[in-house]
Chain A
Amino acid sequence: MEHVIEEKATSLTFSDVVKGRLGGKTMTLCYQCGTCASSCPVAKITPRFNPREIIKLSLLGEKDEVISGDAIWLCCSCYNCQERCPQKVEIADVIYALRNIALKEGYIPNIYSEFASALLNDGRIVKVSRFVENKRPTIGLPPLQPTGVDALRKILSATGFDKLQQKKEGVS
């Protein structure tokens, strides 16, 4: 019994943390009408993502389920849900907040992590392949310029992004 109470106490904190983030304050307005879900192009094609459920779980404080799963990373940020929500819940923004929390806790799908590390190392999210480089002159495009990765690193360092990435790499 004690165990249950303890768990409840910690989970309450999670929903408060989300409420404290940008857009999070509006979360309590949700009455689970599901307008977001039926507006969502992703939810329509996969049962792995449902914005209504994400809001509900966040309100219930189900931290582990929310931040360790891949659901929050499936949002395509079309903002259809937010546009149509009758309660003005900032759903897409809440999902960004959840992603940020997940990231801090070291949860990030590998593909995102790879993008991040590529950005830090090469200044590009996707490495340019030899094939692409060779193809460019054939359609009249100039060769790609260097990315100015030094400036980019400075920006990423100033925002603390590099540290997050190091943490992630340390974890994995």
Chain B
Amino acid sequence: MDDVKVGVFLSDCGKQLSEILDFNALTDYVKSVSGVAMIGRSSEFWRGEGLQFIVDAIKGGKINRVVVAESLPKLSEVNIVQAVEKAGLNPYLVEVIDLKDHCAWPHRGTPSEATEKAKAMLLAAIERAKLLEPIEKLEFPALKSVLVIGGGIAGMQTAIDLADLGFEVHLVEKAPFLGGLAARAGRFFPTDDCAICIQSPASDVKTITHTSKKCVYRSGFSAIPNLNILANSKVVGVEGVPGNYKVTIEKKPRYVNELKCVRCDLCTTVCPVEVPDEYNAKLKTRKAIYMNIPNVHPPVYIIDESVCKFHDCAKCVEVCPTAAIELDQKSERSTMNVGGIIVATGFREFDSSIIKEYHYGDYPDVVTNLELARMIDGFGPTGGVIVRPSDRKPAKKVVFVQCVGSRDRRYNPYCSSICCMISLKHAALIKSAYPGTDVTICYIDIRTPGREHEDYYERAREMGIKFVKGRPTEILRDPETNRLIVDVEDALAKKFLEIDADLVVLAPAMVPAEGTKELAEILGIELDKDGFFKEYNAKLRPTETKLRGIYLCGGATFPKDAPTASLHAHSVAIKAAKFLITGKIIKDQRTAVVHEDYCGDCEFCPVTCPYGAISLEPTSEDHLVARISDLLCEGCGICVGTCPLNAIELRHSRPNQMLAQMKALMSVNGTSKPLVLVICCSECGHTAVDSSGMAMMQYPANVRVMKVPCTGILQVHQFLEAFKAGAQGVMVVGCKSDGCHYEVGSQKAEKKVELARILLKEYGIDPERLKMFNMVFIEGNKFAEAAQTMTERLEKLGSLQLMGGS
């Protein structure tokens, strides 16, 4: 390896800094440090001539490590690093520090002390730079194919988007027909349109006009050549890595050949088996061979294997003109390779029968909103007539009950967010079709956020729909007349009402789709406390999961109305496409590396890694060692902090680099105050220090800042090393414990600090010398105050005497 030749470049930010810091003293000092081959001084080094100077030095072979003191490093570093890379030096051999916001500004009142601190900062940067190692960029294959799980409105739309973008898309739907909840719901708010209409694909075919509002069956959707629709199928296994997953799909037998069926309906005519039709709220019967509604996709019958008599009957086989019926079909498993996976599994209605006092499932005239939707649908079992299921007579009095199992701490504490609108929509549809119907909505709070949604509420009142502010305690049934009675208090009128009803419609909570938990296990992704799929970050990464390559959209993350699900679906398509579109994933090797000779058998790190990047693999000596996936590793170092054997290191933050930095920062004091080492994470922690400097908040110059990728990397012995290196106090500054950029890093650090404090006490060192803080960027004032307080505390405690005398 070549000799280390460090170039040190000091920017005085247009002479602003040289008014406070003694730049001559700084350059003299840097000259004396071994390994420094070149010193530059300019008003800026992150662009123009200054940057060219660095580039020339690299090209001329004068330097092979770069230390730049420049303001706003989080901005300037990007420019510098890019130029360095172009000049032919590995960009990870650059260290940029901020003498302005971390030194000159906060210590402007004590310039000579600030200069001494600047020396320590420069020394730390140089010592670290000397130990830096080149880091390579790796390339991983990314297949241009995507698996979409769930064929509801969200899944279909994202599948179309990705297919239009040229990806090979596999759309898997568990049910025999596509459409999901929206297909059953019939119409959706705020336009009262068919819920199932979608925007047609971009393909240029004679019969397709590119307007929105296309029924799925006439959208051209099923004819997209690079879209593979797998209904009646489910995902049973996923292995592999982002960019290249191997997925196993199980296709249940349909018993009808999709390629042969001509939907002539002869089979359903001859089928002798008749069962209640669940899809249509059991308001009609269907045959063992059936289709849900006429306009579904795929337009192919299915045999209900739980009731069909198969070869004992086989009447359908006899009449089928195309020999499409294949009673001997079996489940088939197939595998496919995809680059990314999108979960669009949606939600379903809560099982209202759990709430006994509402007698759902017990009284036939108590139905749910989804069942009512089937009655409202002209294609539905009653042809659009609202009836009492018990005797099929028209329902003249209808009562809606809101929040059935939602906003209910016994079942689902959250507000399902769409049920008020669903009930308002249904109430208005009933009232406009049958104005004589008496409609009442019992509610706790009516919630109508969203464009044009409040109009529904207003219109409902205009139409004469009654609103009772109260949650019924019970639904009773008159034993003689069989009519229902809703027992409720109207809190606003302060009246107890016993509302007589033909039909009671429950608005059940919306809960995660069946099989959500199993799928989460297969994919290795998390669920939130309510059982929905958890997105990486609600604001910034609303369609991503913690695992690159696995995405979420639609109701899988929370109940959504059709417009919002659609928005989510289009958004996720872009995210997945961005990840895969180049056909490769480029990722640098700022990752963890394992010393296999002393790693062994403890299993701590695979459990701790937030990204599932660590697996245990047997070695030839018949014991397990940790293997880190460079693709999955995000370089946080939480595994490093967890390893009891110090067998893991980060390539870009090795223990020797950290120790050298620590020692350098503590090597020069220059103030009369006790030295404080601040260990910051490079995310919120370090920016809080930035912001205190930017706002020119003052704190003493004995406070020295060191950056680590995440505080989760820290180990207990490192705090002890800091004291040994000369720190009188140590502050650890991480992100908020629930806002850590690496999920759990700052929580881990907090525990580590707690443990170290116990240890310090045992050693006779006041534990108050070590403290953990959680800060965000805007809390610069909090940092300045904490630094001041820590200094004062240490002054009171007096000088720290370590055993062995130092």
Contact = CB atoms under 8 A, between A and B. Distances in A.
B407 A86 contact: yes
Contacts of A113: none
B408 A34 contact: no
Interface stretch (B293-301, B379-387, B484-492, B635-643): B484-492
B412 to A, nearest CB: 10
Given A52-B489, A52-B491, A84-B357, A35 B473 contact: yes
B489 A38 contact: yes
A84 B487 CA distance: 13
B409 interface: yes
- Residue from the set A32, A36, A38 with the largest chain B CB neighbour count within 10 Å: A38
B407 A84 contact: no
A88 B489 contact: no
Contacts of B490: 34
A37 B487 CA distance: 10
B467 to A, nearest CB: 13
Range of interface residues on chain B?
Answer: 20 to 34
Nearest to A80: B473
Given A34-B471, A38-B473, A39-B473, A88 B444 contact: no
Contacts of A43: 489, 496
Contact of B471 (A33, A50, A88): A33
A74 interface: no
A112 interface: no
A29 B473 contact: no
Contacts of A31: 407, 444-445
B350 to A, nearest CB: 13
Contacts of B409: 29, 86-88
A47 B470 CA distance: 17
Contacts of B473: 35-36, 38-39, 80, 84
B549 interface: no
B403 interface: yes
B206 interface: no
A44 interface: yes
A34 B407 contact: no
B700 interface: no
Contacts of B403: 33, 86
A32 B489 CA distance: 10
- Residue from the set A39, A86, A88 with the largest chain B CB neighbour count within 10 Å: A86
Nearest to B444: A33
A85 to B, nearest CB: 9
Interface in A46-96: 47, 50, 52, 80, 84, 86-88
A34 B489 contact: yes
28 contacts: A29-B409, A31-B444, A31-B445, A32-B444, A32-B491, A33-B403, A33-B444, A33-B491, A34-B488, A34-B489, A34-B490, A36-B473, A37-B489, A38-B473, A38-B487, A38-B489, A38-B496, A39-B474, A44-B496, A52-B489, A52-B491, A80-B473, A86-B403, A86-B407, A87-B407, A87-B408, A87-B409, A88-B410
**CB-CB nearest 3 A-B residue pairs:** A33-B471, A86-B408, A34-B470
Interface of B: 357, 403, 407-410, 444-445, 469-474, 487-491, 494, 496
Given A35-B471, A37-B470, A52-B491, 14 more contacts: A31-B444, A34-B469, A34-B489, A34-B490, A35-B472, A35-B473, A39-B473, A39-B474, A50-B489, A80-B473, A84-B357, A84-B473, A86-B471, A87-B408
